[in-house]
Structure 1
Amino acid sequence: MTRSDLLALTPGTLASLANRGLVKRAEKDLAAGSGPVVTTGDDGTVRGTFPDGTETVLPPGRGLDAADCTCAAAGMCRHRIALVLAYQSGAPEQAPAAQEPLVDWSPGEFDDDALAAALGRTSLTAAHRVRARGYTARVHRPATDDPAPRVELPTCTVRFPVPHALGYALTDAAAALRGEVITLAVWAFRAADAERATEVSVGGRTSTPTAAAGEALREAVALADELLLDGVPQAGPVFAGSLRRAARALTATSRHWPAGAVADLREQLDAYTARATRYTPERLAELLAELHARHRAAGHDPAGVLGTAEAPVTPLRRVRLVALGCRIGGTARDRTAETYFAHADAGIALVLRTRWDLTEDQCPTGHDLSRRRLLGSPLHALATANVVSEHTARAADRTVTLSRGRIAATSITPVGSAWTELPQALLVRDTAAHLRAAGERPPRLIRPRVAADAVRVIMVDAVEGIGYDPAAQRLEAVLRDPAGNGVHLHAEYNPLCPGGLDALAAALADDGIRAVSGMLGRARGRAVLDPLAVLTAEGVTVPDLAPGAGDSTLGATARHRHDPITAALRTALTALADAAHQGLRHVTPTTRTALTDSADRLRRTGLNGAARLLDDLTRTLHDRGAHAAVPHWVTAHIHLTTSLDLHQEDG
């Protein structure tokens, strides 16, 4: 009996199952003649006897972690790895099996009995509890350049590198959660196969939400209505405290996405009180509309709209992260750094968030912050490095935390060519095909609140039309990917990073440019990239951490044509935001006129449905009062926001 599962294990898969050190040690032992004597039984059991007397047994249908070995190692050992390598080298006639054409298979083929046999009843029971509450997942089926099917769960990723074998499934979750998350991944594939879908919600729909969960969401929506009626100037410390309690109650009942919206709403009020630039009426209005949108859509897809009912943070085992750059933000009172990482094994991007409080005499730029130390290294080194961590936790929103004490200096090394070795899910060579494969997504107001979801690395063959738009304070360029697609790069000026646009322009003009990382999306029907960093032959440039005063002369870009639809929608949303800021009970005559004028402008542009919604709002305000106008404001804002998003994406 030939063990096709053992023949399919590549060195990379073995390193993921154990670690690179064990694989290298096993390879060294084999090269030195210290490998095992291999025998194969009629039932497929592979046995190995080593020169030191150690005996290792690999029974069929079980993974390496369940193999038997007489050595003293507590877990995975070099003997098991060496036995696999020795078996592969001793079956040369079977070696091409690993290179056979793509195996189109689904882990959904495993039933619950197979899951229990391979992973244990305890893991199955724990997974049943999660499914009863509901969870979301994104399924990736086998592809030519990525043959291992995988599932993105809210707080970890599961891969199935060996066809039709559960025992070799890989996950970045901690060992104690391995069986549970593999079970959840198999169920996600089952649901995806049945629905012929890529993104699925599993379980939860037939279960009745707890009274506490329903009450927490209703309380949050009631607070949003109160703020919409009274306005921001009237909201004091007591109201901010109510928002804080509402966010905690939503988190406690696993309503993570509305909890995030409430937390952002409280931050907006704090920023207004502190007169910080983080506060904008438009952002406040969007958060109010988001809470209502999630409340309205919760019955259709509770896990997707409200957040998975899993633990908000999952510990991960040893992971390797590739830095993709950094984004600097902040106000007069603080600075923030968002450092983005590619988790190659999971095929996703993660973000590490850091915040520093400032004193009155401090005003650091991004370049000043680049010298501050995080995890034992300067920020500029961390933002351009390979990081190996043995103590990492990943949140449901794809933020990551790394323990300071468990990161040694040798764990942070220059990124080198790691960008070009990322999997297809993160490294884009054909932008048009990538965006088509992304498919349709739910409206932005009810999508999962996932950080770095759009972060990708774009391979670059050429750069065209580098120029600066002084009106928008924006650097623009067109990148050509290897497939010939144009990607429109737009980089806004950041006053906290005055040298950023100069450094970006210089990197884009470099003849040795290889790739650009950033947030990839669509605008006006075109691929658009908001850049984070640029990889050239000289290394990685992170514009937000670059030195300089921003005094270089940049060539002008072509003028953009006026878009009346975008202008009309944005004007209407501004009027709605002004009404929310003042409070519907305190709307000024000027804002009432702005709402009426916005409706007329929408009508002239052909957006009659949106115009009617604004008409309904102004008429209800006048005839029935502020309280009756709340649902009309919410409906109008949701409609206009979604219309603007669709228009900007599809052109």
Structure 2
Amino acid sequence: MRRIDLLTLTVEDLVLLSNRGLVKRAQRELESGQLTYQFTQTAEEDLRFDWSDGVTCYLPNEAVLCDRHCNCTALSICRHLVRSILAYQASAAPAPTASETEEIAPTSVVWNPGEITERSLEQYFSVAKLKQLKQTFHAGQVIEVTCSHRPIAQLHSFPYTLRFLVKGDLRYTYCDCGDKSPCIHVPLAVWAFRQLSPGQSSGIISTEPTVLAVPCELLLAIENALQDLVTTGLRGLNASFMAVLKQLEQQCRQAALPWLAIAIVDLITLCEFYRSQDGRFSPNELQQAVVEICMRIDAMRSQTGAIPQLFVRGPETAKDTALRATRLIGLGCSVSLKATYFTFNAYLQDTHSGRTLTLSSKPHPSLENAADTTFWDAAKAKALKQTNWPTLGAGQVLIKRGACTLDYQLHLKRNQPAVVNPQKFEWEKLCSPLLVDDFIELQNHLKLKPPKYLMPRRAAENFSVLAISRVEDICFSSAEQAVTAHLHDQYNNSVALYFPYTEAARNGAEDLLTWLARYKLLFVSGSVVMRAMQIRIVPTALVFEINNHRQMFQPWIHSCRSNSDEIKSLILPAYKNCQLITHSVHNHSAKKYLDTLLKTFSEMLVSGLIIVPSSKMVMLDSLAQRGTLLGFRQLSSQLSKLSYQLQNQSEQQILLAQQYLSILVLLEILHLPSS
């Protein structure tokens, strides 16, 4: 009989069980032909490999693969075990029987680990241990599960990510908790998969209590503060109101509502920007902060179960995490653009915990009136001691001590040493779910994500690293004013690459076209979103293979400009017509209508609802009529009601503020797909 479990393992599975360096070395040793081996198989289907270099490997049929199965001194799965598996797969090349064909799951077959029986679990876990894990499962877990050829479970409550590599075989599971397979998270994942409805391939399984306690008094106090804000407007802000907001923020943290507390901090910061006439004030960001607070309050009160309360409220242990000696892998540096300033954001993965952290710069003034002409010039500033932003994004950081905030921001004090060294860009070793090699899994994950304002407040929540097999359709889109391409994974699924052309990042946009056309692309890191049922990634960094060496390209802060006349002739004429093209493509009547409404409401938020000029009421009536013609009937009805309340001075201010806030939330929801 053939060992179906060993035949099912792919090279990528072996990489997960060991590492890519060991797998490549094992492949080279086999291909060299310098080693020979004797292979024996017992009646129990145990395998033994005696190699000519004196190594003996055992592959027992009923045991978990580990370091004890090789007579070398390695303390984990070694290259000898890997090459034994590869040798067995090569020796078993003849066509399998009909029954074996059914058992060997090809990479395109989707299966559900919920099919694994309790008896299979009892082979690796005692009855008492399973009972304990069952209590943990029902105590309140949030687990995102996706059925595929290698099913994946993300345990948000821990947080760990677990993969099932071989259909129905618990020995071949990989969890980034670091424990030997199968770890204690396997039963939790299996039970979560069983919660999927028939025909459902993915979902977020929540075992939280049906109804959590609602801090009614606290939520009411926050709503009253928002109503006071929109009634008096930003012009009516005073020190006592700011003190109330700060007190509410502290009460949210004490009530285990960290995401709501962070949203209130954003609101406080923007209000202080306005009071101090700081150029970083943005009315759009202020509106978004107000909307997020309103939506999280509504979600906490309703508790429909559509979105886990863990996402709405945040973790109960809301405190910063101390970082001891660890290594952080640089994933590139991007630029966050605002109206009057920008910031640099470096992304790093902690190799110990698997968390993706961000380190952000202080705000830089807009480059329009500055001495720096490109982001590259501004990025020469120090990110860490003796290290600028391009070096940080492309390096690996060794720290002895630091802190990770609740929203995954990295904090390093000046007296805490940090050493930045070059890296080899072995991104295949990055921890999941950051690393994605199957775009269908990523698509299913993005579909399950809650709305923007109800997502966990983590800085790198939408950040991913994609493993790329090939690149097609490389071009500069005149319509979108962006470098675009289609990226394919090993299963021929595709995502769209989109890098917008800006004058300050012109070097990166121009050379990105050249690099994509000339060199082999291996990985792309960046922010991923769903656009028209397709994944779009805005690249932060790209890893290319050039002359058998890997090199990172950071388009936002790239230093050199291509000298290719072909590239220049493709980009520069389109850039000169940027304003005309943008106007003709993006000013859709519905989007323009929503933009006008948001601008009108931001002006009302500044001035307040106490005194609204008659011209503004006339404008609201006009916008209500126009909205009816565009099909926004519910929105138009609410606008007409608000206009009536503004004209009727006898209406209570609290009702007026509630109406304003309800429309503002509706506006942001309608505007969300275009944002």
**Shift, 1:91, TM fit:** 7.1
- Indicate conservation of the 8 Å contact 1:499/1:543, yes or no: no
Structure 2 CA distance for aligned equivalents of residues 115 and 317 of structure 1: 36
Q: Deviations over 1:463-486 (max 9, x none)?
A: 44555x9xxxx8445546679999
What is the match of residue 323 of structure 1? 331
Change (3 A) 1:289 1:68: same
The residue aligned with 2:640 is 615
The 5 Å alignment of 1:209-608 reads: 209-210=212-213, 217=219, 219-236=221-238, 239-240=241-242, 242-244=244-246, 246-247=248-249, 249-250=251-252, 255-298=257-300, 299-301=303-305, 302-303=307-308, 305-307=311-313, 309=315, 323=331, 325-328=333-336, 336-340=343-347, 350=356, 352-356=358-362, 366-367=375-376, 368-370=378-380, 372-374=382-384, 378-384=388-394, 412-413=423-424, 425=436, 439=447, 442-449=450-457, 451-453=460-462, 460-464=471-475, 467=478, 475-476=481-482, 479=485, 489=498, 491=500, 493=502, 499-508=504-513, 511-512=517-518, 518-521=526-529, 530-533=538-541, 540-547=552-559, 554-557=575-578, 558=581, 559-561=583-585, 562-585=587-610, 587=612, 589=614, 591-608=616-633
**In 2 relative to 1, CA 163–236 (structure 1 residues): closer, same or farther, beyond 3 Å?**
farther
SS at match of 2:277: coil
Q: In the aligned structure 2, how far is the partner of 1:619 from the partner of 1:300?
A: 33
In structure 2, do the counterparts of structure 1 residues 352 and 607 end up closer, same or farther at CA, with 3 Å as the change threshold? same
Q: Distance in 2 between matches of 1:108 and 1:151?
A: 11
Which residue number corresponds to residue 651 of structure 2?
Answer: 624
CA shift at 1:290, angstroms?
2.1
2:601 aligned partner, one-letter code: L
Is the contact made by 1:149 and 1:161 (CA closer than 8 Å) also made in structure 2?
yes
C-alpha displacement at 1:326, in angstroms?
1.9
Q: Which amino acid aligns with 2:166?
A: V
- Per the TM alignment, residue 610 of structure 1 is displaced from its structure 2 partner at its CA by 0.9
Matched residue of 1:413: which SS? coil
**Is the contact made by 1:518 and 1:532 (CA closer than 8 Å) also made in structure 2?**
yes
The code of the aligned residue for 1:141 comes to C
The amino acid that maps onto 2:584 is: H
Are the equivalent residues in 2 in contact too, given 1:390–1:406 (CA < 8 A)?
A: yes
Structure 1 counterpart of 2:16 = 16
Distance in 1, Cα, partners of 2:192 & 2:371: 48
- Give SS of 2:167's match: coil
For residue 172 of structure 1, the aligned residue among 140, 160, 176 is 176
What do the CA deviations read for 1:78-115 (whole angstroms, capped 9, x no partner)?
4xx63464366357544678986235322222356654
Post-superposition offset of 1:158? 1.5
Pairwise CA distance, 1:612: 0.7
For residues 400 and 141 of structure 1, what CA distance do their matches in structure 2 show? Answer: 33
Separation in structure 1 between the aligned mates of residue 176 and residue 541 of structure 2, nearest angstrom: 26
Q: Distance in 2 between matches of 1:308 and 1:508?
A: 41
Distance 1:177 1:260 in 2: 38
3-state DSSP of counterpart to 1:323: strand
Instruction: Using the TM superposition, give the Cα deviation of residue 245 of structure 1 relative to its aligned residue in structure 2, in angstroms.
Output: 5.2
196-205 or 607-616, larger mean C-alpha shift: 196-205
- Separation (CA, whole Å) in 1 of partners of 2:58 and 2:665: 61
Q: Secondary structure, in 3 states, of the residue corresponding to 2:344?
A: strand
**1:500–1:546: 8 Å Cα contact kept in structure 2?**
yes
User: Alpha-carbon deviations, 1:184-230, whole Å to 9, x = none?
Assistant: 43333222355715231321152x4246x666555544443443344
Return the TM-score normalized by structure 1: 0.73
Alpha-carbon contact 2:257-2:316 (below 8 Å) kept: no
Q: Secondary structure at the match of 1:196?
A: coil
- CA distance in 2 between partners of 1:358 and 1:210 (Å): 43
1:188 to 185, 192, 197: 192
The Cα offsets for residues 137-156 of structure 1, whole Å up to 9 and x where unpaired, read as 2x3322xxxx3211234343
Unaligned 5+ runs, structure 2: 97-102, 562-567
Q: CA deviation at 1:8?
A: 4.0
Taking the aligned partners of 1:386 and 1:425, their CA distance within structure 2 comes to: 21
Work out the CA distance in 2 between the residues paired with 1:594 and 1:327.
37
Are the counterparts in 1 of residues 48 and 58 from structure 2 also a CA contact under 8 Å? yes
Q: 2:114 aligns with which of 94, 108, 123?
A: 108
In the alignment, is the contact (CA less than 8 A) between 2:141 and 2:155 conserved in 1? no
Structure 1, 92-101 or 309-318: larger mean CA deviation: 309-318
- What are the superposed Cα offsets for residues 158-197 of structure 1, whole Å, 9 maximum, x if unpaired? 1111221223321223549994544443333222355715
**Paired AA for residue 599 in structure 2:** T
- Is the CA contact 1:124–1:179 (under 8 Å) kept in the aligned structure 2? no
Name the SS of the counterpart of 2:124 in structure 1: helix
Whether contact under 8 Å (1:338, 1:353) holds in the other structure is: yes
SS in 1 for 2:637: helix
What's the offset of the Cα at 1:500? 1.0
Cα distance, 1:324 vs structure 2: 5.0
2:4 corresponds in structure 1 to: 4
Segment of structure 1 superposing worse, 90-99 or 636-645: 90-99
> What's the secondary structure of 2:204's corresponding residue?
strand
Please state whether the residue corresponding to 2:584 is helix, strand or coil. coil
- Match for residue 82 of structure 1 among 80, 83, 86: 80
Contact 2:48 2:57 in 1 (8 A): yes
- Tell whether the 8 Å contact from 1:148 to 1:159 is kept in structure 2 after alignment: yes
2:99 match = none
| C-alpha spacing 1:257/1:127, structure 2 compared with 1 (3 Å) | farther
* Aligned residue number for residue 167 of structure 2: 163
Paired residues, number? 619
CA distance in 1, matches of 2:221, 2:598: 26
Aligned match of 1:636 in 658, 663, 668?
A: 663
Pair 1:579–1:507, CA change in 2 (3 A): same
Asked if the contact 1:136/1:308 (under 8 Å) is kept, the reply is no
Aligned sequence identity (%): 19
- CA shift at 1:289, angstroms? 1.9
AA aligned opposite 2:192? A
